[in-house]
Amino acid sequence: MSEIVRIENLHKSFDKLDVLKGIDLSVSAGETIVLLGSSGSGKSTMLRCVNFMEVPSDGRIYLHGDLIGSEQNGRMNYRESELCTLRTRIGMVFQHFNLFPHMTVEQNVMEGQLTVLKRSQTEARDKARAQLERVGLADKALEYPARLSGGQKQRVAIARALAMDPDVMLFDEVTSALDPELVGEVLKTMRQLAEEGMTMLVVTHELGFAYHVANRVLFLSDGAILEQGEPQQVLKAPKTKRMREFLDGHSLFKLPD
Ligand SMILES: Nc1ncnc2c1ncn2[C@@H]1O[C@H](COP(=O)(O)OP(=O)(O)O)[C@@H](O)[C@H]1O
Ligand SMILES: [Mg+2]
C-alpha cells in the first residue's frame, strides 16, 4: 500500500528539554493510527512537527515520498513557502475548534478554501456543503457557531479541514473538552472517515475508539514509541509496565472479551 507520511528519527527539543527522542513512523494510505500516552509524553509535539507548526530539531519527514525541506551540511532547511503549501495538504483538528463567530458555519468551511487555495465562491460553497453533509450538518450551513453544541462545532471544524482535500488528517484530543454526552457523535464522525479510507493520525484517550477503529496503536512514553502494534495486541497484552499502568488509569473502559 502506498505510503503517505514517513517520519525518520524525529527529534524535537525546546531549549534544554528533549521532548521527542527519535521517532520513526510510516503511515500508509487509508491507515488510522492512534497515538496514546500520558500527558506530557510528546503527542501534541509529534503531530505539530508532522504539519510543521513546530520545526523538528532533527530528522526527516516525507509526504508521498517527497522529503520536506532540503539538506545542507547535514542540517535540514525549510522554506516558509514550502511549509505553507505542505500545511494545506495536512488537515489538523484540535481540542479547541476556533471557528470564526461572526461567520456562518458554511462561511467558516469556505474561508480557507478562498484565502489559501484561491477557489471560486461557487466551488468553495459546493465543497463546503458536501463536507457539511459528510459530517451530518448540512442543515446547519447557515447557522452561526454560537447556535451549535460543542459536538456540532467540532464536526464543523472537521468539515473545514476536510474541505481542503488533505492527504492526511491529524486529530489532537478533539473530544477532550466536550461534555461526555457529545463525545460519541464526534467519534462516530471520525470512525466514518476512517471507514471511508481517510488516512488519520489520532491522539485520543478514548480507548474504545483505539480498539475498534485503529489499524495500529502507538504508545508514546517520554518522547519515544514504547509499544506499537494492532490494537487487540497492544491494549489487551501490553508488554511494558508503563503501558500497563497507563491502561490501568483508563479502567473505566472495558475491553471486549
Ligand atoms: N512550545 C513549547 N515550549 C516549551 N516546551 C514545550 C512546548 N510545547 C511543548 N512543550 C513541552 O513538551 C513536553 C511534551 O508536551 P506535549 O507534546 O504537549 O505532550 P502531550 O501532548 O503528550 O501532553 C511537555 O513537557 C511540554 O511542557
Ligand atoms: Mg497534547
Q: Write the DSSP assignment of 208-221 as a string of letters.
A: HHHHHH-SEEEEEE
Query: pLDDT at position 250, please?
Result: 82
pLDDT band at 73, cuts 50/70/90?
A: confident
Q: Are 10 and 49 in contact (CB under 8 A)?
A: yes
Which residues are bridge partners to 25 per DSSP?
7
Q: Please classify residue 196 by burial: count the beta carbons closer than 10 Å to its beta carbon, then call 0-12 exposed, 13-18 middle and 19+ buried.
A: exposed
Task: Say how far apart CA 252 and CA 149 lie, in whole Å.
Answer: 25
Ligand 1 pocket mutation pick from 12, 17, 19, 176 by most atoms within 8 angstroms of CB: 19
Task: Say how far apart CA 23 and CA 199 lie, in whole Å.
Answer: 19
Ligand 2 centroid from CA 37, angstroms:
9
pLDDT digits (tens, 9 = 90+) for 8-52: 999 999 999 999 999 999 999 999 999 999 999 999 999 999 999
- Percent share of the chain, pLDDT over 70: 97
Ligand 1 centroid from CA 234, angstroms:
25
Query: pLDDT at position 97, please?
Result: 81
Query: pLDDT at position 48, please?
Result: 97
Task: Say how far apart CA 24 and CA 21 lie, in whole Å.
Answer: 10
Q: Give the DSSP H or E segment for 32.
A: strand 32-36
pTM of the model: 0.96
Task: Say how far apart CA 171 and CA 46 lie, in whole Å.
Answer: 12
Conformational region of residue 32, where left means phi above 0, alpha means psi within -120 to 50, and beta covers everything else = beta
152 lines ligand 1 (CB under 6 A): no
For range 95-117, the mean pLDDT: 96
Q: Are 124 and 77 in contact (CB under 8 A)?
A: no
Task: Say how far apart CA 245 and CA 242 lie, in whole Å.
Answer: 5
For residue 5, how far is the Cα from the chain centroid? 13
Residue 24 CB: number of other CB atoms within 10 A?
Answer: 12
238 lines ligand 1 (CB under 6 A): no
Ligand 2 centroid from CA 177, angstroms:
12
Query: pLDDT at position 229, please?
Result: 97
Largest CA distance in the chain: 55
- 109-112-118-120 Cα dihedral, nearest 10 degrees: 10
CA 138, 161, 216: angle at the middle one, nearest 5? 110
Query: pLDDT at position 201, please?
Result: 98
